[in-house]
Amino acid sequence: MALWKRMIGLRQANPEWFCSHEGCNHLGAADTVSITYLGTAGFVIKGAGRTLVLDPYVSRPGVVDTLARPLVPDTALIRATIPEADDVLIGHAHYDHILDAPDLCRQTGARLIGSDSTIQVGRAAGLPESQLRATAGREDIASGSWTVRGLPSRHGRVFGRIPFPGDITAPPPWPPRMADLRHGLVLNWIVDTGGLRIAHIDSADFINEELAGQQVDVVCLCAIGRQARPDFVKDVVRLLKPRWIIPCHWDTMLTPLHEEPDLIPGVDLPGLLNEILAAGCEPLLTPMLGVQRFPARLELCPL
Ligand SMILES: [Zn+2]
Ligand SMILES: [Zn+2]
């Protein structure tokens, strides 16, 4: 059954899986931070005067084009879906995390921020050096009045092995083929708006020691991690102590953005959502292009 239809069924049966923070509904735009899910591991975080984008991938070519042809970003769709961005953060340089980022940066003037491999991709697509910001992680980077910080991480295994491992050490062909885009350094991002802290885990593994001590409010969490690593959810909650978790990377990313997505085989969404609840957090299962609203400062919304 298509995922969207499944989700409607799930909503009727299990409303607690779809908690939205109703307590924020009285707050105006200046007092809220919104998080929009773009599919795959893509998100737009928007607060007063600031728009950050993580791992944008809305072009989503079909399976034949993905496997057999160079991957061409859909410029018009990127413009229509993400009209503005101040900074674009990349968790790792696989195609489903980075393909649309250089185009988005060119259209908006945003900086592309990520590993050395990410920067090589920006160069390949023709971005000027002034829009490229490399980081090895463990440093605070100012983004307007917000702060972003990459934490070194690990790529998860898919069917027992890490796909397209290694670094991109020179600008790859552009448009690239899937295999040209190796993952490079993997970074888990912490976005601190000054009132709300958001973590982004875009692959199926992480390093406990890097996450330890990073108390956050919201985690955008790769759903396939449960299959790849024991105690995936439990460890995230223990280390980051979030209140809300938004699952991502549960769809096959092979369907057009505005069509019903397919669920990646083996992703057990009900199992994941129950595990989040059991760990004491509120799951926010968000459809493609769905928006979650949070208080810009937690004290604005004591609920
Ligand atoms: Zn990957
Ligand atoms: Zn991925």
- pTM here is 0.94
- For 130-183, the DSSP string reads GGEEE--SSSEEEETTEEEEEEEE-PPPBTTB-SS-S---SPPPSSPPGGG---
3-295 CATH: 3.60.15.10
Spacing, Cα 175 to ligand 2 middle (Å): 18
Per-residue tokens: 157? 């295994």
Looking at the CA of 224, which ligand is closest? 2
* pLDDT over threshold 70, residue 147: yes
What pLDDT band is residue 28 in, cutting at 50, 70 and 90? confident
Spacing, Cα 46 to ligand 1 middle (Å): 25
What pLDDT band is residue 14 in, cutting at 50, 70 and 90? low
Spacing, Cα 181 to ligand 2 middle (Å): 11
What tens digit of pLDDT does each residue of 224-275 get? 988 888 899 999 999 999 999 999 999 999 999 999 898 988 888 889 999 9
Please give the pLDDT value at position 222.
96
